[in-house]
Structure 1
């Protein structure tokens, strides 16, 4: 797809103004090779006899569906970008021309700057602890070319002014379908607070990966690289489709991408024996989206037993006394599933584990604990090109009784 890419044209990198893409000068095939080497080092022989697929590459630019913009400058001339280091005076570097963002975002940024001035949204100053607007968060659904816009503010002081100016904003940016305010009053490095105030009737964006409807909502995790995420979910469903599975758990399920893809593939193969799927995720917002997908797919109407619950994944699993599923899907945060859950899975006789990870180091530690299982298949997905980060998918099969 992009083997010949040596460096994308990024003015911020060339001027040494942003180094978020630390590998930008490394040829893309070399980036993939270095990530493959890192993955092998993390597994330390655990992948012996496993089938390793070639890495799934990414587009080199415009692959992100999200932008998290720190707000700086003044209310009359706001800056949207990243916070510089403390040595540089806590200034904000404007990054609205970042080549990783989709073209739709570039059209939004000038309009949003004008909106900030009209609504009097003074940028929050960390040193002085004054101001209101901390971040602007954008997310795009490529299925409908729609955008979710979130303002992260210190308080609700400007709510009336935002409501007054919002109709003009939506007229200029008709692709913006979901608008909300997130209230984050703490003087701390926390992106968002618990309180979300919706300013539009619509509260979710529909996205589709491999014909499976998934929903983007504030405070719910969603993959940042939709093309690679679609390949990741498709691979997961292909790997499990032919396996003898009628009951599965999807732990750390997010909006349900893995579980719903696998359930759909298994149901398609054996429609007269619908699967039983239980998805667990700590975020209520993500569970709201997963339940919406369940209804859209008709899985809430007797076509198997599909449920999603807002619980701690490890606590849910460790507290189960029921018959174990044939497949456990885990897609944990960077810290991994942890020793207690890994040891529980060793004792619980599930035949297969599908493990997706954004941190191969913690995954390697978890797989060392999962001594009752062996890796059967493994593939790297380059979710984050031009950086050292990546996603990896493994299929494990139990080899000990």
Structure 2
């Protein structure tokens, strides 16, 4: 094969990024936009040692599950990858993602794992309650949106089909006000200014918070005045300073510009505060489903002690607080721990304890002090469990555990080690991100009997 060569291809399956995969003369070929079962004509765009990538040119035989993506910028944006696949088949694909990852990493006994059908949404649109919009200036006008895949080309988002409508309306107005007040907008070559606008809306209360991420100090006073007058639902506006040229969205320093330190959100039967930098799931509606599944999987009682690693502001742990004797959590972000403590106090919990720091440091100290955990819940970032934390879990091995994952590959990788000590009872996938190639999963683990 050569780059720019045009080839016919039968698509045998879909890959972890939602692309179609076929074989041409025994070489794997990845084709974004192609669906399983389709016969396509494509053009090779790059060649690697053991696979090729190609651009879809023509579909000769269409999948019966292909639909017209209802988004005008779907292909340009890249934020969603499988909107052209009928939604019920998206759920099947996400179950298959789990199976592919397990087959690749092959944790002990994976062929016999119970993988439950993916739990989806009745209305899989406008679900995303938080988004970091990048800002750039074009011909004097500020635009807000996302970078196209593998590029620094900004695709403007004005009516995103997966973004909460209210937050979209606010960001559209923010872009207009940034233009009107001529605030400097960051440019990678020479200009210091606003890089990103984060907006989040609490589904339960309707309260909104904003973070302006900037590479220099700016005067937002007039913009904030206009914005808060027009949108009374905005309760918090903060500024974060990111002066490095790295791809990290946030810098270390965050200051409150206007309003409250936090907004109020709720899930299941409890409410909690979210400060601007605090982590919370992007899809509040499906978070209800996710946390319900975690509750069901980790069957605890009032005599037991529970550790919530990667606890954040405490959200998932609070679902268990009334059911256990004690709940302890940790997180590396001090502001999140402060939120967790405040939230626990407000809810009247006297059996919770939170510390800022790394779990692999804190847990051994607790055990030296005489503490023993009966159960553990982990909800790590996409990178999965830290190696040192994984070693700590295997060393102390509570009798039962729930692993909440947002990345099937790192989950399967971590299960290689966890399955040495734990039986995987089942894996329940939950569609937190409709129209994307990502899924969340809840794994029920029980310590092996000797």
TM range (shorter): 0.7 to 0.9
2:47 matched residue in structure 1: none
TM-score, length of structure 2 as denominator length: 0.78
For the structure 1 residues 340 and 132, does the alpha-carbon distance in structure 2 shift closer, same or farther, using more than 3 Å as the test? Answer: closer
Which of residues 349, 352, 356 in structure 2 aligns to 1:310? Answer: 356
Does residue 341 of structure 1 match 2:400? no
Greater Cα offset, 291-300 or 35-44: 35-44
Does residue 227 of structure 1 match 2:289? no
For the structure 1 residues 261 and 8, does the alpha-carbon distance in structure 2 shift closer, same or farther, using more than 3 Å as the test? Answer: farther
Unaligned 5+ segments in structure 1 are 268-274
Does residue 53 of structure 1 match 2:126? no
Q: Distance in 1 between matches of 2:375 and 2:424?
A: 14
Matched-pair contact (CA < 8 Å) for 1:7–1:27: no
CA positional deviation for 1:244? 7.1
Does residue 32 of structure 1 match 2:91? yes
Which of residues 315, 318, 329 in structure 1 aligns to 2:377? Answer: 329
Does residue 82 of structure 1 match 2:143? no
* More strand per residue: 2
1:270 matched residue in structure 2: none
For the structure 1 residues 396 and 110, does the alpha-carbon distance in structure 2 shift closer, same or farther, using more than 3 Å as the test? Answer: closer
Which of residues 425, 439, 444 in structure 2 aligns to 1:376? Answer: 425
Q: Distance in 2 between matches of 1:26 and 1:67?
A: 23
* More helix per residue: 1
Give the SS at the match of 1:11: coil
For the structure 1 residues 295 and 385, does the alpha-carbon distance in structure 2 shift closer, same or farther, using more than 3 Å as the test? Answer: same
Q: Distance in 2 between matches of 1:230 and 1:107?
A: 25
Which of residues 322, 326, 331 in structure 2 aligns to 1:276? Answer: 326
Matched-pair contact (CA < 8 Å) for 1:339–1:366: no
Which of residues 392, 397, 401 in structure 1 aligns to 2:446? Answer: 397
CA positional deviation for 1:138? 0.4
CA positional deviation for 1:52? 4.0
Matched-pair contact (CA < 8 Å) for 1:287–1:310: yes
Give the SS at the match of 2:294: helix
Matched-pair contact (CA < 8 Å) for 2:300–2:375: no
Pick the structure with greater CA Rg: 2
Greater relative CO (CA pairs within 8 A, separation 6+): 1
Matched-pair contact (CA < 8 Å) for 2:114–2:427: yes
Matched-pair contact (CA < 8 Å) for 2:309–2:329: yes
CA positional deviation for 1:361? 1.7
Matched-pair contact (CA < 8 Å) for 1:46–1:367: no
* CA deviations over 1:65-124 (Å, ceiling 9, x no partner): 01211111259411111234787xx44221121111112123213421232134321211
Unaligned 5+ segments in structure 2 are 1-64
* CA deviations over 1:137-175 (Å, ceiling 9, x no partner): 10000111111011111111x22xx12332222111111
1:355 matched residue in structure 2: 403
Q: Distance in 1 between matches of 2:293 and 2:73?
A: 35
Q: Distance in 1 between matches of 2:150 and 2:310?
A: 35
Give the SS at the match of 1:177: strand
2:169 matched residue in structure 1: 107
Map 1:1-400; keep pairs closer than 5 Å: 6-13=67-74, 16-43=75-102, 44=106, 46-47=109-110, 51-58=114-121, 59-74=123-138, 76-84=140-148, 90-126=152-188, 128-156=189-217, 158-159=218-219, 162-241=220-299, 246-264=304-322, 266=323, 275-300=325-350, 305-319=351-365, 320-321=367-368, 322-370=370-418, 371-400=420-449
CA positional deviation for 1:318? 4.0
State the Cα RMSD in Å.
Answer: 2.3
CA positional deviation for 1:326? 0.5
Q: Distance in 1 between matches of 2:272 and 2:67?
A: 34
Matched-pair contact (CA < 8 Å) for 2:178–2:223: no
* CA deviations over 1:328-378 (Å, ceiling 9, x no partner): 111112222244433332332411011111122222222221211101232
TM-score, length of structure 1 as denominator length: 0.87
Matched-pair contact (CA < 8 Å) for 1:24–1:386: yes
Q: Distance in 2 between matches of 1:235 and 1:5?
A: 31
